[in-house]
Amino acid sequence: MRVVAVLCAMIALLSLGQSGDLHASELRRTAIVKAVQSARAAVVNIHGHKTIDDQQQSREVNGMGTGVILDPRGYILTNHHVVNGVRKIRVTLVNRQTFSARIISHDVRTDLAIIKINAPEKLNVIRIGTSADIMTGEPVVAVGNAFGYEHTVTRGIISALHRTVQVSENNKYHDLIQTDASINPGNSGGPLLNIDGEMIGINVAVRAGAQGIGFAIPVDKALAVAAQLLSAERVQNTWHGVVRDSHRSTLKHRFVVGTIEKKSPADKSGFLAGDVIQTVGKTKIQRQLDFERALLGRHAGDEVEVTVVRKSEPLKLSLVLSKLPGRRQSVDSRSWRVLGLRLNPVPTQKFRTYKSRYRGGLSVASVRPDSPAARQGIRTGDVLVGMHVWETISVDNVDFVLDRDDLASFSPIKFYLLREGSTLYGHLPISVARR
C-alpha cells in the first residue's frame, strides 16, 4: 500500500510540474509576442541592386527594405525610395520563399509605392488599425529588415505626433508619427504595430546620429495614398466614378460616398452621396482601399453587385465598369499598349527642381514587363522629356507622336529622359500595326 501511495504522489507532482510549465509558457506569451505573431506572415523583406552617382562616378549598391502585404494576390505596400531605381526587385516571405516583384505605381510626394509578386497561393494580409486615435505614450512594435537582419522586432512607445522631418535638401515629410522603437536602415516600408497587432503606421525615416528617434507615416494617410495607387483607374484604365467622403470615412472604418462623377458608371447605377458601401461582390468594405482592391482584375463591361446602406436601409446596386472617357485614358492606355509606359505630367514647379534645359516632362509611373520600354531599360521615376524631334511636356505630345501617319519612317523612335541628374537617350522600336 505504501508503494502505491508513493507512486500516486510522484504522478501528482509530475502533473503539477507539467501544468506549471504550461502556465509559465502562457505567461511569456505577452501582448507584444501575440502582436508580432499575428503580423509576421504579412511582412516581407525587399532586396535589390541599384546604380548611384557619387562624385561623377557610378557605383553599385545593395538596397534593402521592408513591405507589408495589402492583398492576398501579392500586392505589397512599401516606401518608394526602397524600390526606386532598383533593376531587379526581390521579395522574401517569412517562409523563405523568394519572388521577383514589379512596381505597379508610386507616389514620390508621400514616398509610397505598390509592388506585386506572383505567388502560387494566397498570401497573409496585414491587419489594419487606424492612426486617428493614436495616443502619445502608448506601446508600439516595429518589424523590418533592419541592416539586412530579416524580421527584426523592436518595441517602444509613441513619442510624439504630427512631426515634420527634413530628410534631404529637396525632400521633407509632414505629419509623421515619432517613436522610440528602434527604426534602422532596412526598416523602411515596414509596419509600426499597436499592442493589438494592427498596423498604425509605415516606418519611413530615422534621425541620423540620434538613437531612439524614428518616424512613421500614419496608416490612415498611407492607405488613402495606397487606394489611389491601386485604383481601377490607375492600374486598369477602368472607371467607376465613386469618390469617398474623406471626412466621414476614416474614424468609424466605413466607406462613405462623398460625390459621384457625372455620367459615370456609379451615376448610372444609382449611387448617391452619403451611401455607405458595405460589400463589393463578396468583399467586405471598410475603407477606400478595400473598395479599389475589390475591383482589381475586373474589366470594362464587368458587372458587380454592391451593397450599400442608405438612410439606415440596406440596398443592392449593380455597378458596370467602363473604360476611362476621352482624353483621361488616351495617353495612358495608348502609351501603355504601344510603349509599355504609364505616364503622368510633372508639375511645372517640381520640374524646375531638375534644373534641366528642357521645358517639362512626363514622369514614368510604371513600366510593363517585356515591353519596348522595359527592354530599353526605362525605369519608374524616369522623366520622359522628348521623342524624336518633339518635346513631351504634356500627354498630348505623346498622342501627337504615336498618331502620326509617318510614324514608321522614324521608328525606332529616339527618346530622351532625365534620371538622377543626367540626360539619357535610347531608341524604342514601334510596331505600327499595334496602334
What pLDDT is stored for residue 8 in this prediction? 52
pLDDT per position as a tens digit, 346-381: 887 788 888 788 888 998 888 887 788 888 889 888
What pLDDT is stored for residue 302 in this prediction? 94
333 is a catalytic site residue? no
CATH number of 38-117: 2.40.10.10
Specify the DSSP class assigned to residue 6: H
111 is a catalytic site residue? yes
Catalytic residue among 47, 80, 81, 106: 81
Rounded CA-CA distance 34/16 in Å is 26
How far from chain centre, in Å, is Cα 228? 9
What pLDDT is stored for residue 170 in this prediction? 57
The residue among 92, 97, 111 whose CA lies nearest residue 188 is: 111
Homologous superfamily of the 139-223 domain (CATH): Trypsin-like serine proteases (2.40.10.10)
What pLDDT is stored for residue 134 in this prediction? 95
User: For residue 401, what are the CA distances in angstroms to 336, 375, 408?
Assistant: 14, 20, 11
Residue in the block written with cell 509605392 = 113
231-323 adopts what CATH topology? Pdz3 Domain (2.30.42)
Catalytic residue among 47, 106, 111, 131: 111
pLDDT per position as a tens digit, 202-239: 999 776 666 678 999 999 999 988 998 898 887 887 88
Residues of the chain with pLDDT under 50: 1-4, 6-7, 11-14, 16, 327-332, 433-435
Question: With contact defined as beta carbons under 8 Å apart, do 372 and 396 qualify?
Answer: no
Rounded CA-CA distance 18/16 in Å is 5
What pLDDT is stored for residue 155 in this prediction? 95
What pLDDT is stored for residue 57 in this prediction? 54
Q: Fold match between 38-117 and 139-223?
A: yes
Residue in the block written with cell 522574401 = 92
Contacts of 163 (CB under 8 A, 6+ apart): 175, 176, 177, 178, 215
Contacts of 330 (CB under 8 A, 6+ apart): 395, 399
CA-based Rg of the chain, rounded to a whole angstrom?
A: 26
Rounded CA-CA distance 204/217 in Å is 7
Mean pLDDT of the chain: 84
CATH number of 327-434: 2.30.42.10
What pLDDT is stored for residue 358 in this prediction? 84
What pLDDT is stored for residue 435 in this prediction? 36
| Structural domain boundaries in the chain | 38-117, 139-223, 231-323, 327-434
188 is a catalytic site residue? yes
Residue in the block written with cell 520622359 = 384
Catalytic residue among 105, 182, 188, 335: 188
